[in-house]
Each structure stands twice: as structure tokens, then as C-alpha cells.
Chains A and B, each alone.
Chain A
């Protein structure tokens, strides 16, 4: 038994498209204990969703797992058949998708869709499942559950639909909830409601959450650990405080710098990350961020940097940090010689 609930090691996953192989995940390792919240941040196409989807076996053709081990709650995901996967999905691990408008089935009632998960994974009969659905709707803060059960998705607002999505995801009290940009399509005041609800439910049910988002503000208030992804790699990983107060990778630093601040009176110019995101069909040879990095060195264009560890959790993949280590090492050597 692993001490972790989720333990992904050196995952490599590619999509074989007509235009060529897209290496969506390149040596990704993530671990998460029960009841923890992990945030994965990155731009579109950085592989943050794919990482989470692969845990649920949702990266179907043309996606293919090349290597790596995916451990989840006593299962080795990479060795499981579709049939076995189906028992886990929606039961031990479930997912909330980004767009509540398209992820609910428009021709079934809300009640029908919540009951589906309950009927599939438990031995409850229809009447009991309906009771459970009512309970769930109350749990996610929807009033008049009796009436809502008979409604169709188009009769609900965006925030309500996202609550229904959460209710479906929680139907079997999963150990792990994957939230794929759950609030991106929502307004700020509704976003605040949904985030509040998720934290409340996490405390109540004790599940772990993987929160995928591009909004650093969302992870700052919700997550214990953060993984920053760029071009299919985790460029920096650490506790929330590490990432925000002691970022080591140039990309993380750039991301934090480029956020417009609310509390400044003087007009400051934003510091953007120059350049355009990587073309995943033809990624650069060395560090994928090198072409946009303002501290790029020759070695960055040639070779992928190794992992540098700072403490137990915090690590990054950047040559600049290696340089510091070299210097430290040579200083120590010098001191020893004297």
C-alpha cells in the first residue's frame, strides 16, 4: 500500500494525430494524500487536463500512454481494462467539467442524471436513489430539490448547473474529485459561491481534490500543493507558499508577475511573458520554455534541465537553479580547501 491516494510516476502520454505525435505529457509525476487539494495551473495546451483525465482513463484514441505508473487508491490504472475502469469512474473518482452548459445531457431531467450514478454503483433501488438525489441537491445548496429533480438542464442557470454537476460527481462519495476549470465559465460572484461550496464539501466528506485552473487566484485560496505545468512538463511543484513566495522557475515567476494587481495606486506597467505558447507538434529541443525565457542560456536550448529539489516537496526543472547549485558546490569545495 502506498501512503498516497494518488501517485503518478514518470507518466508519458502522446496523442498520435495525422499531423504527427503530440507529446502531451512528458515525464509527469504527481502525488497526493487523502483529503488534500492539489492545484494544477498552466496555459491551454500545457497538459493539465490530460494529466487528470489519464487518471480516469479518459484519454482514448488517439491518446496513448507510453510509459509510467499511475497508482490510485489501490489500483494500478495503467493495467486496468475498460470494464474495471468503469467500476471506479464516478464511484471512487469523479470529475466536474469546465462547461456546465455542455456536460449535462439536455434530454434527461436533472433527477435522471443524478440517479444514474447512484443506480450504477450502489445496490439502491429507484426510490432510494431518488431519495439520495434529493439529499445531494440539498447538499450542494439547491432549494426545492423535489421540483428541481423534474427539471431539464436548460431551465437552470450556469451556477445551478455547475451545482448539479457537483451533485452528480459526489453521488457515490468519491475519494478523489477532479475539478477541470470548474468556475471558468461562471461569473465572479457565482465563482465565489462554487469555490466556497467545494471547500465546504471537502471538509464534510474528506475527499481529495485535484483543481485544474489557469487562475492563480483560485489556487491561492484553495490548494495546499500546486503543480505548474508548461508544454507537458511540470516545471515547478511545491506547497502553495513555496510557489507564491519563493518561485524558482522563470515561468512561475513570470506568471505571478503578469497578474494585474488590485491594490496599487500608481499605474504600473504589466510585465508580460513575451512570445507565444509552444507548438506541441514541434517542441523546442531543450527546455520548452527557453524561447520565451528572459534568462535563457545556451544550455537551455540544448538540453532539458534536471530536477532541482528544495526541501521535501518543492522542486523545479530549470538550469538557472542548477547553476546556483554548481556555485554552492564550488564555494563549499573552496572553503574546504582553505
Chain B
């Protein structure tokens, strides 16, 4: 089964950053990003802070108004900026949901867990009466490993891992098909991270969910995703099957990103050679011309400064954007 559920074409998201008229400045948070996600698949999105991975996820759900691009969900066009075509999002919010990064900030401290989960049910009028509403809430809590007595408690009574479970239950309450997981495990302790990852996998199997899994931790993303996209400064630089991407990265940025991960094995850590990138990520207010990675890339030359590298399918299902793929492999 390889039906495409999510198709993104040339997604663009600029944020205004002050200035008037000609001098108006924009932060190019996401620039020309295209990808597809099959039904039942998990696509991982990794990159450093400020690379636009979170913005991509939020723009898909129209939490931001897109600056450009097209998003087709199933057969329906959710937005097409060129043709000025936008749909009313409310019915689609039932199909697409999001789990936020910070379980401490994303739950209203004055609502009980039951009401947090129940709010979405009310909005979409999914329950005919109170009893039905309660039953759905309890079922969702049970699915994420909490129980009925938790429904009357407040967020402060829970640990970080439990709060993240509540956040997931809230997203599941409307029985969505597609969930954007925006760094759902970054704020959790190591021993709890594995629990939550396993739960995401179980839920996917039980409910046939499709995930866009955003994180900066490549090892966790590799574990849960079928395919991984790597972003750098608003652009997608490489996209491939998870194992393929980890073992045979083509783009120099992906290579350094993988080698920078500290390996939890002293012998392997000593044997491996780290590619340490120089410098910092440039500001998205004023990104470098041509290839955006060129200021930190060991292979960069004049061509990289002049032309923006093309997004090409180099091998089947393995995309990358770089002028010097041959030179660096």
C-alpha cells in the first residue's frame, strides 16, 4: 500500500521581521520544501534549531499562513498559494493533529485532564451526550497508558512523561489520520523517551496513523521513521530511507550531522572519526547566496556561492541537493 496521504510542493514560509516598503525584511524560515508521506508511514524531519522543521509542521496545519506552495491531503487541496485556493480547516482538524514539544507549556494548567482531552470532542461535536464524551476520554487515556482516575486531575499533578501522554491523548481524541509530532520526546528523561517512542509505534499500528516526526535527535528519529528528511536553514538537503540515510549519507551536512552524534560505546567512539563543522548556522534573515550550507561546507567553491543546488533524485528514493555529490563521496 503506497497511497500518498500528504503531498507538499515548494512550501515557503517567510516571517516579516521589521522594515517598511523596499526595506522590509523577511526571515526565510522554510524555503522551497517538497516531500510526500504515504499513508501509514512515518517521515522523520531532523535538523538543528532554526532550520525550519517546526515551522514546516505548523504551516502544514495552517497554524501559520503559508507564503507559498501547495499542500494536497489525500485527493483534496488544503492550500495552493499560487491559485489562492484555501479550504476551511475545521473539518480537516479532525484528520490532522499535532503533539507539541513542551508538555509543561502546552497543557492549560486550569483545566482537568478530562477537559483537555474532551475539548476537541466538543469542538467537533463527536459525542451525543455526556456519557459518550466521558467514554471517549477514558478510552483515549487508557490508550496512552493512563487510567480513568487521572481524568479529574490537573496537569501539575503529573510528571513530564505523563503530561506528554496527555498531549498525545488530546491529539488522538478526534481520531485523526495524520499527526505532526513536534519534538515530542526532547523534553523527557532518557528512560522515559524509550517508553514514549514505543507508545507512538503501538498507536500507529493500532489506529493506522501517519506521522510527521520532527526531532533534532537523529538516533530517535532513525528508530521510529521509515524515511528521514534533513533540513538546513530552511531548505531540505537530503531525503532517503532511514537506514540508507544513516549508513550512506550523500550530502556533506548529513555526514557531519551523523558523525557529530556521540556514540554510547567507548570503543566505537574512540575508533570513529568526527567531522567537526566550523562556525555557526548563519542567520535566516540573511542566508548565504546559492547553497545555504556553503559557509560551513568543506567542499564549497564558487559554483556553490553562485547557484542554488538542484533537488535531485540521485538514486531511487534518495534525494539530495548538492553540487559536489561526486567530490564528497
Contacts and interface: CB of A to CB of B under 8 A. Distances in A.
Contacts of A263: 246-247
A258 B194 contact: yes
B280 A244 contact: no
Given A220-B265, A270-B198, A189 B277 contact: yes
A172 B162 CA distance: 45
B228 to A, nearest CB: 12
Best-buried of B195, B260, B266 by chain A (most CB within 10 Å): B266
Contacts of A44: 189
B216 A262 contact: no
A258 B190 contact: yes
Given A43-B190, A262-B218, A270 B265 contact: no
Interface string B191-234: 11111011001000000000000001011101100000000000
B189 A220 contact: no
B131 interface: no
Given A189-B257, A189-B260, A244 B266 contact: yes
A195 B281 CA distance: 18
Contact of A269 (B49, B201, B256, B277): B201
Interface size class of A (residues with CB under 8 A): 35 or more
Interface in A180-217: 187-193, 195-196, 214-217
B21 interface: no
Interface string B272-302: 0010110011000000000000000000000
A265 B262 contact: no
Contacts of A22: none
A122 interface: no
A192 B263 contact: no
A221 B194 contact: no
A301 to B, nearest CB: 20
B48 interface: yes
Interface stretch (A73-81, A113-121, A124-132, A272-280): A272-280
B110 interface: no
A24 B196 CA distance: 27
A283 interface: no
Contact of B262 (A193, A218, A261): A218
Interface in A311-326: none
Nearest to A193: B276
Most buried by B among A188, A196, A214, A217: A188
A277 B189 contact: yes
Interface string B239-269: 0000100110000000011111111111101
Contacts of A215: 190, 262, 264
B274 A273 contact: no
A260 interface: yes
Contacts of B277: 189, 192-193
Contacts, number: 125
Given A192-B274, A220-B264, A262 B190 contact: no
B-side interface mostly = helix
B273 to A, nearest CB: 12
Contacts of B48: 187-190
B280 A221 contact: no
Given A159-B280, A277-B189, A188 B260 contact: yes
Nearest to B272: A221
Interface string A278-293: 0000000000000000
Contact of B219 (A187, A244, A262): A262
Contacts of B197: 260, 270, 272
Contacts of B83: none
Interface of B: 48-49, 159, 161-162, 189-195, 197-198, 201, 216, 218-220, 222-223, 243, 246-247, 256-267, 269-270, 274, 276-277, 280-281
16 contacts: A43-B190, A43-B191, A188-B260, A190-B280, A215-B190, A217-B262, A220-B264, A220-B266, A241-B267, A244-B265, A255-B190, A260-B220, A261-B223, A263-B246, A276-B161, A277-B191
